[in-house]
Amino acid sequence: MKQNTVRLAAMEIDNVKNVKHGRLDFAKSRNGSILGIYGQNGSGKTVAVDCMVLLKCLLSGKRIPSNFYYYINFQSDTAHVKYCFEMSTEFGESYAEYEVELLKNGEFSFCISKEKLSVRNYTEGKATKLAPIFDYQKGESELFRPLKYYACFEKKKNMENMVALEIARQATENFNEEKQRPEVSSFLFSKKSQGVFARAEGDAGKIFRYSSILQNYGIYDLTVIENEHYALLALNLDMIPINIGWPDSVKSRISGIMLHPTDINVVPRELYPYVANTIEQINIVMKALIPEIHLEIYNAFDKLMENGKDGIQFEITTLRDGGRIPLLYESAGIKKLISICSNLIACYNRESYCLVVDELDSGIYEYLLGQCLEVMQERAKGQLIFTSHNLRPLEVLENELLIYTTVNPENRYIKSAYIKNTQNTRLSYLRSIKLGGQKEKLYSETNIYEIELAIHRAGKAGIHG
């Protein structure tokens, strides 16, 4: 059976934070599909990462973080994101669009007011019309459309299925009264909906056929690492997400492992060999990045877990010149490299894998960063999306792999015009900031003398007496 592959082709954002409208297109039909997002502070780089967090939650059937209420642009009641995918499955080549709309429906509360999945198939080189296979609109009399698919469930008079779908729909507008926060999740990708759609026959089976492929992508092949993760990791307050290539027999039961770098870890006995193998994979890469560091699983022994099952307890340490050092005392940069290493391995080797990293350059030596990106650009099978302030990647990545934020909220992302791959992209970008020449203005002007004067005045404002 052919293995399914899913690739993110584009993302369109409306009214999320300071992005009134923006579209990001990804490199097509090439290995090393990278997208680097550059721009000044507060210009919308992290919005792209936030939207990928949203996608991860939706596809996985998890709750959207309640703070997404504040991500809806303050001048709007709704935020809308459209994700475009290219899929290759046993059924052939397809193109899919998944849209979601968030609506403010109360003070500090929001709901999903629209959720739509549309698919176009390619048969013998010809494309079919892009047609919706699931379309939920808040307030409609039917739970979802198209009616020809909805009728397949309604006609059977299966009360259990209809109740399950209604419960799944209610999840789009849940509000926890006790905690006073929204607890919203997807209608289409909820466990109850997927259970009902999996039993559908005929044309209605298309809903599960394509939504299940996207759900597997969201659970197993999409990883988003936010900047706040690094801050907590540096303070030894967070856990490291380890990407493990689970066999199919295990994949259906677990999607990943979180390891505490500075404390005791306990994993089920049956999963420990996969964890140990992943640590060895990380060591292979770390030896190439920082030769003097070697990770070690220390003091592993049998441990009865809280659920009564057999487990293995262990710690993770680093070895330097034969000396054992607790990971607690390693630098934030080392912890960051370790934390993303398993994900970079997956991104390099798996075509469907998509790794999204906010501020990839944070804590990493710029020359090493450039080398890593060169390798990913030339050989990686998966997709790497990152934001960065360090301009070193501009010197190693091809121009088509870079997107820049603008000062125009109505057209927040653009690709650079008039720059060839033979030119120094870094110098061309800095020249565009100073002199212009792009389709949109890239930088809200700052003045060195005004900055100096402001700091001087602020110091005087703090003097009393």
The DSSP letter of residue 415 is P
pLDDT of residue 440: 84
Amino acid of residue 214: L
CA distances from residue 436 to 168, 376, 413, 444 in whole angstroms, order as listed: 50, 31, 16, 11
Amino acid 329: pLDDT: 81
Q: Are 463 and 433 in contact (CB under 8 A)?
A: no
Angle (CA) 84 339 16, round 5°: 35
| pLDDT for residue 422 | 58
What pLDDT does 421 receive?
Answer: 62
Q: At 66, is the secondary structure helix, strand, or coil?
A: helix
Which residues in the chain show pLDDT less than 50?
235, 237, 465
Rounded to an integer, what distance in angstroms lies between the CA atom of residue 436 and that of residue 281? 46
Query: Measured on CA atoms in the order 404, 407, 412, 417, is the torsion positive or negative?
Result: negative
Q: What is the pLDDT of residues 413-460, one digit of tens each?
A: 998 876 666 567 878 888 788 777 788 888 888 888 888 889 888 888
Cα 51 from Cα 190, distance rounded (Å): 19
Of the candidates 30, 45, 84, 81, which has an alpha carbon nearest to the alpha carbon of residue 386? Answer: 45
Residue linked to tokens 């699931």: 134
Q: Mind listing the pLDDT tens digit for each residue in 273-306?
A: 988 998 899 999 998 998 888 999 988 999 998 8
Query: Which amino acid is present at 30?
Result: R
Task: Look up residue 132 and give its two tokens.
Answer: 């919706």
**Token code pair at residue 372:** 């890593």
Question: What is the pairing mode between strands 5-14 and 78-89?
Answer: antiparallel
Q: How far apart are CA 419 and CA 399, in angstroms?
A: 7
- The three-state secondary structure class of 166 is helix
Check: CB of residue 32 under 8 Å from CB of residue 397. Answer: no
Dihedral (CA of 109, 142, 152, 5) sign: negative
pLDDT of 80: 98
Taking the C-alpha atoms of residue 48 and residue 13, their distance in angstroms, rounded to an integer, is 8
User: Which phi and psi angles does 82 have, rounded to 5°?
Assistant: -120, 130
